Structure 1
């Protein structure tokens, strides 16, 4: 069975090109919807922490991704599929599906579990369909997997190499049993496993129908043309940036083990329509779980550039002009057995922040101040005496976006690595023994400026019954999101834990684990506001009056 090559077809008219492009995207979006609607975990079904896409057979390059998939997987899944191709392509057959979560094989953290399925059209391999979903637990030292004190990957959970979870259309039960035996609340995970499989099968059906309708030659030509146009668009944007070297730094609060900040030092070189990102001056590999694997580091740059130039289509073509140097010897190029639990949810957003700050020096009229830049990860695991069942809750929250050249930042926006949303309070209270006593905008958290940053959120979760173990892995607690062009910084993250009537902050400010809560104990979180854009004295009187009237200044 031979691989299909994508070659330009000169006779493709613009209407057909657009219809096929949207059709490929719709295939991915249908997979997203099946994945979402059939998953058991609220973090997938309600918060959309998942992605589905179509990838090339030669190197796993991205052909298309669903509109509602997490952007962090833009580059990550390319690397993941490429790893599967290198290790398993020789023995794949129709009906096979690979499962993998190994961070060092094109991954992120262990909780992002990927599945890869070869797609055959009329007996010939045409592409790979792949997805990723965040499982609430994959084992490890703490419920939820977000250990902040892990010093090696084996403490973080179950590490799965590329193995077949389906063979010739049948589930490999031994593999499923092994996985479920090594994670908490395993009876829930089988639902997430079947949801990912169902999404891939839905994609197989929809993609077959698309190719049947337009023909293989036309679809191949469209794929090549779409990729080529995306590259041209990205190059045109880069060419508008003045040539030069632009540098900036962003900082990690700590690695969770050593209570000192880590520096992400970036040098961006623009030369014509090419741009190079060099992180070699960044901090050395760290002891704790804030190391970042290569796939996540590279993908973070891709997402950052997509934020700056949002009109460029999402496929491998838009990545071609972006040269990200491998930062070996730094904490942004984690190698076995370095722990990486915080790489995709937290370090990725600091990398993006460095990209924003560096390019703001070159094109300030097209950039924005730093966003909240943290997913605000909270895990709570325990036993509910009312239901008689164990549970694991994983929750992430919104924050403020940075002010920009024509307006204030968005308040309570999703993290910059995704389009995911916070799970509804009602769902949390229905599924877990807790009460969300407060959920509001965090007044006074926005960075001041001609255009102020958006506000973070302020919420309290109280344990209603039984006992639970809470862990936090967040960021921007030591440093607030920086403003640009004279704008002020947004408020830093704030965590307060109240146990037996005693309130305290975690030693590492934004990180901590194994907080044992009993009935009545609670957690207070205030997420960061966005940085301000421009000098605060230039803010219009009308905007000042509105802020005062709405109570936005706290």
Structure 2
């Protein structure tokens, strides 16, 4: 190690503070709802060779570890201090960009005359042009239908703003003001990194800064190798699927228009390394779900689940691309995980999320005691487009990120309305959504009972109902999944409930929308989206046993289905406050017929219930 332990710790926190401040400045100065409210953006610091050595955990997207920045950085050749690059071209950036709405920017960071690092950021633009509002739709079959493609180019050249490029980006968007405002927020974030890294250089010197970067990457690599080394050597295979698409005839007859997409992962553990083989995965498809990885083995959308697994086991591990150094991969050219240039990719998150499920499925075999059940497996995002009465132009706003429940966890139930994937995305307040687009949010709540049953139940999904307040309001809902293939349980746990989307539910004209894609609503129409619940972990305890759970009322509803229609708001369930063991929480059913009006649950009642169950207080 080149740095002293104390100095390395200090600099690690300084680097972390830089990316957090970058992210906070972008959030505070951005224009679009999807960036300022939902936080679909990201920041990081990378070496001149393109390895991420610092990324935020508190705000913004936390998918940056393994982002392959080298190709984008090298594409602009020599740099000067005032330069800022920009691109949204997957092929030209070697997989740094994965779909066109992600606008990536970067700038050099100097120590004196030497470039010691680069700062990067991306924002998810609400619209980058193309065939449909928001630029994303399952049905687009060519990347040119998905919007403006910007090859790596200087947005700012030696301090001089490229006004022609700004104008071109604005002209090719349905929301020019928001796009330009978000890009300027990115530039502000990059300038923050330049100032803060200059301060670090002045305080510690160039060599100390470079040594710390190298040591942090090496430390993360070593710690990741240690954790992989704890797993039994062997190959673990898991296969999962993305939804196909049915064609519906006028008489209601359904035929398969697009078959399901197969994701196959073979995870091979060998000592301190892991190999991810995607041989047997479907070839690239005509739908816009292809994931451009540039063939990079540690690509952030391939390695995300493993990176989070490392971090969940050891939260002190440096959070950087050293974690993906022990990973190699086989990515068949022309497959959905390594498609040819130009393959449509707007909904590539569907493949990203299913890869996470496959990794969890392999880890459930390699480390059964640390198994997680499948979560909702999707983040459905509704982009809402309407005609502005004042200008006659169509406006676009990206609404709620609708995730579902997470799967049951070792010792704990799944989280409600929060998935392992996309969990960093924040809610848009209903009041903000109703102010920006002509809709009324009639429901936004948990989908009670949708999580899979088990010793540790899956988390519930969500329900949202949106009523259109105007005619010709278009909803582009992308990413809705698990409509056929349920979120699986593990070790005897039950699968979570499937998702669904319905137009005008509860009316004679109600219609199942499948994956939705794009649907146009008129005044009074209602769109209802129900997201999947997570799978359960472990077999459901027998009646009379103690339940391991996080929400007593959820368990009550499931244990006593015949009573679930009763007014349960005042049902008494005695949660035993001294019953924590490691990370497992338990609750004891005192009396199924006991009501709140019967008086408080006293310590004597708890002890009597324990005695009746043949348990002692310290047995819990």
Normalised-by-shorter TM-score class: over 0.9
Q: Contact between 1:435 and 1:461, CA under 8 Å: does it hold in 2?
A: yes
Q: 2:504 matched to 1:504?
A: no
Aligned residues of 1:467 and 1:517 also touching (Cα < 8 A): yes
* 1:206 counterpart (196, 209, 215): 196
Q: 2:84 is matched with which residue?
A: 97
The alignment's TM-score, normalised by the length of structure 2, stands at: 0.83
Partners in 2 of 1:377 and 1:120 — Cα distance? 39
- Residue aligning to 2:40: 49
Aligned to 1:304: 305
How much does 1:187 deviate?
A: 2.1
Shift of 1:392: 0.9
Within the candidate set 347, 353, 362, 1:342 is matched to 347
Moved more, 427-436 or 294-303: 294-303
Work out whether residues 255 and 262 of structure 1, in 8 Å CA contact, stay in contact via their aligned partners in 2: no
Are the counterparts in 1 of residues 353 and 378 from structure 2 also a CA contact under 8 Å? yes
Matches for 1:351-362 after TM superposition, within 5 Å: 351-362=355-366
Change beyond 3 A, Cα 1:27–1:538:
farther
> How many angstroms does 1:466 deviate by?
4.2
Q: What is the CA–CA distance in structure 1 between the aligned matches of 2:435 and 2:419, rounded to whole Å?
A: 23
Q: What is the CA distance between 1:115 and its match in structure 2? A: 0.3
Q: CA deviation at 1:389?
A: 6.5
Q: Residues of 1 paired with 2:522 and 2:337: CA distance? A: 38
Query: For 1:137 and 1:195, how far apart are their aligned partners in 2?
Result: 16
Q: Which position in structure 1 is the counterpart of 2:490?
A: 484
Q: Judging changes above 3 Å, is the alpha-carbon distance between structure 1 residues 238 and 415 closer, same or farther for their aligned structure 2 residues?
A: closer
Secondary structure of the corresponding residue to residue 502 of structure 1: coil
181-190 or 445-454, larger mean C-alpha shift: 181-190
Cα distance in 1 for partners of 2:445, 2:234 equals 43
Shift of 1:418: 5.0
Judged with a 3 Å threshold, the aligned counterparts in structure 2 of structure 1 residues 285 and 388 are, in CA distance, closer, same or farther, namely: closer
Tell me which of 230, 238, 263 is aligned to 2:228: 238
TM-score, normalisation: structure 1 = 0.92
Which structure has the larger Rg? 2
Per the alignment, residue 421 of structure 1 pairs with 426
Trace 1:88-487 onto structure 2 (pairs within 5 A): 88-90=76-78, 92-104=79-91, 105=93, 106=95, 107-254=97-244, 258-294=257-293, 298-310=299-311, 311=314, 312-343=317-348, 345-385=349-389, 390-395=394-399, 396-414=401-419, 416-417=421-422, 419-473=424-478, 474-487=480-493
1:19-43 CA-partner distances (Å, limit 9, x unpaired): 1101101100000000100001111
How far did 1:272 drift?
0.6
SS at match of 1:72: coil
Aligned twin of 1:29: 20
Q: Deviations over 1:178-218 (max 9, x none)?
A: 11111112122111111111110011111111221122222
Q: Could you tell me which residue of structure 1 aligns to residue 51 of structure 2?
A: 61
Partners in 1 of 2:246 and 2:121 — Cα distance? Answer: 30
Q: After alignment, is 213-222 or 109-118 more displaced? A: 213-222
In the comparison of the two structures, how many residue pairs are matched?
536
In the aligned structure 2, how far is the partner of 1:185 from the partner of 1:217?
A: 45
1:40–1:191: 8 Å Cα contact kept in structure 2?
yes
Aligned to 1:83: 71
SS of alignment partner, residue 309 of structure 1: helix
> Deviation per CA, 1:67-104, whole angstroms, max 9, x where unpaired?
2231333223xx2x2122332123x2211111101122
Question: Using the alignment, how far apart are the partners of 2:29 and 2:122 within structure 1?
Answer: 14
Distance (Å, rounded) in 2 between the aligned partners of 1:223 and 1:372: 37
Offset at residue 170 of structure 1 (A): 2.1
Checking the alignment, whether the CA contact within 8 Å between 2:474 and 2:521 is kept in structure 1 is yes
